[in-house]
Structure 1
Amino acid sequence: MTSKVFFAKIDPQNKDDEIFNKLNELMDKSGFVNNLDENDIVAIKTHFGERGNTTYLNPSFARTIVDLVKTKNAKPFLTDTNTLYHHYRTNSVDHLETAYQHGYSFSILNAPVIIADGMHGNNEVEVEINQELFEKAKIARDIYESDGLIVLSHFKGHCMCGFGGAIKNLAMGCASRNGKKNQHKLVAPVISKIRCLACRVCEKMCPEEAITVDSHAVIDYDKCIGCNDCIEICPTHTIKLNRLNSDDFSKALAEYAYASIINKKFNKVVFINFLTNITPDCDCNAFEQEKMIEDIGILLSYDPVAIDKASYDLVNNHKSGLSSLFDAEYVTGEDKFKVLYRNIDSTVQLKEAEKLRLGTTDYELIEIM
């Protein structure tokens, strides 16, 4: 069966004003708010952005969604979950301070901000899914127990799965800290023995004491949680992501995405992808990134697979505004994410999610004028 994906183009020169209007039009076209009941608690899942990042979604866009949800006397809240890596979103206090600094405050949103997996990421529900990689998935309790879910995703590249959109926002974004460990362990880092200087920086900084150093650094994978902090702090860039297991990581994303909405009514979950400020990597990066291409628009669907496939196609078929990330030999329609991450097949997450009947890659793109 074909899934509907609603699409609104935006003018890159006037995008902020356009986005507010287009969001209202897309939500109206979808009829989503009419599916809500009075007093429904509705989680609005987004990414508050790491400190130093500049391309996280504008909180005023979330306010537009909040106002629409409240017209049905439902109870919205903005939410995200704590990170596995150790920066400014690894516990609820730091995470909330970061969210407030980025404009995600009650005064702007007119709705509370809740970190869904609690102070240290342990507020979780074990969800039985009985899939290939996981029998159970650990999902943030406050998202799992909500009556409805609106997933606001900044569509962009990602160094471990090619791109991140609705599926990744569900999978990693709705997982508790323990759930993130389960997924990240599949791509735990590797160390080059030849290049390692045995400087012990990684050994001292590893939060799990999973690295020991003699003639070179060695990772104890029984202890390693895959937070990848060691990659960032290695002074010689000797520690790398294990991209050989990227297919398993993408499969894990599909299984966790499935787990995150398994208890939800289909018509009370909706996905909105923003194809704006499209960067090569995640908003977890604590620095400004170069944009891949010019802004395209906003998509909405009840199907996370269809909306991600449509987003993927729109990015790859977009002709103008290419950045210096792409050389003169780049051909329109070529997989831009494959150019950025040549060893990663970014379509694996789509195929695996489709196998789980999370959605379909067969979609009808309906443009809202």
Structure 2
Amino acid sequence: MKTSERSEVFFFPYDKGRAFLRGLRILFSKVADVVSEGDSVAVKVHMGEYGGSAYLRPPIVRRACDLIKEAGGRPFVTDTTTLYPVGRFTASKYLATAARNGFTEESVGAPVIIADGERSYDGEWVDVPGQIADRPLDKAKVASRIFSADSMVVLSHLKGHERAGFGGSIKNVAMGCVTKESKAGQHRANRAVIDISKCNGCGKCVEACPFDALSLVEEKMVRDDVKCMDCSHCLYLCPESVYSLPPRAKEKFQVYLAHAAVGVLSRFHSKVAFINFVQDVTQSCDCVAPSGFPVVSDIGILDSTDVVAIDKASLDLIAQSKPLGKFAGTGSPDILGEINGTDSLSNKDRPGAWPGQHRIPPVTAKIIEQPKFA
């Protein structure tokens, strides 16, 4: 994909506190035309793992839903189940976790629906255009309730991510709008490498594997590569470090994310708005509990209709901020990438190259100009 022209990213700064009610009203007016009268509008949001505290709060989501209704839309709040077997592994578990975190129809003013069904079988395949050599992610299975929506408003908490470097709108769409099958397809970019010489036959990984892909043969672990869904549960729980990431796994994962995002967004024909909240910026994603310490102070809210431009603008604002606490020694322009051991700003093999410089005019809803995601 190529970028041409320039995209607008609107920015509401938290210079007088977290005035998110006012900020969202100002910003949504800039992108409200993605919602047509009577549209079924998917409000895509990560509702957090229980025990975390940095995810977007229900009042933020409620405000977005109210604004969508004012624009004539019929919002529903949605996300998909996780690949790893914890509190959001099935739709019923996710709804229970969401309720514990404060997300109910009463609190957000719209139905809360897990888009891929109870066990993540419900979805529709779409082609991924603009393939890159040696990156065989040519299809994405979009969760059915998201696929059937007329338009989408993507609410993203900007934070770090162990493998992607950061999580924003791109990752929220790529990983959050698809079924487990397509989540596994993206995670296949960093399928764990096995050093069988370290295996002591304890069987912990075999017992824990949610997809029955591991077994013990002659007191050594054996993986069924067909059954394996690349959830990495084994990698994190193995006490002997039998599993590890392959070389350049993180860089390849980022490319797969970009491909999946392109596939999902192709379904909506530009009827998507992206709103990034650069607050509670932690090292790790909202799947991690507890959430960890803030990397920088709260910055503000951005919105755009360009998924690449809004994420790059968010990262640029973080780069202009002073790292806090234990992150104070971080000197890279890619703060989140540096602390997560990858390059968040790499434009190599990315659909829609990262843009360069931007300017912020002194207006209430500031405009950050970015090359357009074509």
* Normalised TM-score (structure 2): 0.88
The 5-angstrom pairing of residues 44-193 of structure 1 reads 44-130=43-129, 131-132=131-132, 133-193=136-196
1:324 pairs, out of 323, 326, 346, with: 326
Greater mean deviation of Cα atoms: 225-234 or 77-86: 225-234
Question: Which position in structure 2 is the counterpart of 1:308?
Answer: 311
Distance apart, 1:85 and its partner CA: 0.4
Matched, 1:352 2:350: yes
In structure 1, give the amino acid aligned to 2:21.
F
Cα distance in 2, alignment partners of residues 35 and 208 from structure 1: 39
Structure 1 counterpart SS, 2:352? helix
Residues in 2 aligned to 1:361 and 1:103: alpha-carbon distance in whole angstroms: 39
Count of aligned pairs between the two proteins = 355
Measure the CA separation in 1 of the matches of 2:268 and 2:212: 39
Residue 211 of structure 1: how far off its partner (Å): 2.6
Distance in 2 between residues matched to 1:368 and 1:235, nearest whole Å:
54
**How far does the alpha carbon of each residue in 1:270-309 deviate from its partner, in whole angstroms, 9 at most, with x for none?**
1011110001111011323111111111111110100011
Q: Following the alignment from structure 2 to structure 1, what is the Cα–Cα distance between the partners of residues 344 and 246?
A: 15
Query: In structure 2, what is the Cα distance between the partners aligned to 1:288 and 1:242?
Result: 26
Match of 2:298 among 295, 300, 309: 295
The separation in 1 between residues aligned to 2:46 and 2:59, in whole angstroms, is 13
Aligned partner of residue 339 in structure 1, secondary structure: helix
Structure 2 letter corresponding to 1:19? F
Answer yes or no: is 1:282 the counterpart of 2:285: yes
Question: What amino acid sits opposite 2:244 in the alignment?
Answer: K
Q: C-alpha distance in 1, partners of 2:321/2:73? A: 38
- CA drift of 1:183 comes to 0.8
Give the alignment of 1:155-234 within 5 angstroms: 155-193=158-196, 195-213=198-216, 214=218, 216-234=220-238
1:6 corresponds to which of 5, 10, 13: 10
Aligned pair in 2 of structure 1 residues 146, 362: CA closer, same or farther (>3 Å)? farther
Gap change, CA 1:236 and 1:368, over 3 Å in 2: farther
Greater Cα offset, 90-99 or 209-218:
209-218
Q: What is the rounded CA distance, in whole Å, between the counterparts of 1:183 and 1:59 in structure 2?
A: 29
- Closer/same/farther in 2, CA of residues 192 and 294 from structure 1, 3 Å limit: farther
Q: In structure 1, the residue corresponding to 2:268 is in which secondary structure? A: coil
- 1:336-369, CA deviations, whole angstroms, 9 ceiling, x for partnerless residues? 1232133x222247861306xxx96675545653
TM-score, normalised via structure 1 length: 0.89
How far apart are the structure 2 equivalents of 1:325 and 1:202?
A: 33
- Deviation of 1:52 (Å): 1.3
CA drift of 1:248 comes to 2.0
1:366–1:209 distance in 2 versus 1, CA, 3 Å = farther
Task: Call closer, same or farther: CA 1:242–1:59 in 2, change over 3 Å.
Answer: farther
- Aligned-partner residue type, residue 23 of structure 2: K
The unaligned stretches of length 5 or more in structure 1 are none
| Alpha-carbon distance in 2 for matches of 1:23, 1:351 | 33
Give the direction of change, closer, same or farther, for the CA distance of 1:120–1:215 in structure 2 (3 Å limit): closer
- Considering only aligned residues, what root-mean-square deviation do their CA atoms show, in Å? 2.2
- One-letter amino acid matched to 1:249: F
Tell me which amino acid in the other structure corresponds to 2:256.
Answer: A
Question: d(CA) in 1 for partners of 2:90 and 2:44?
Answer: 17
2:252 is equivalent to residue 248 of structure 1: yes
CA distance in 2, matches of 1:5, 1:98: 33
Q: Cα deviations across residues 223-271 of structure 1 (Å, max 9, x unaligned)?
A: 32111111232234443344622222111111110111112132x2110
What is the CA deviation profile of residues 9-53 of structure 1, one whole-angstrom value per residue up to 9, with x for unaligned ones?
Answer: 1148x42xx11211111112x1x3244222110010000101111
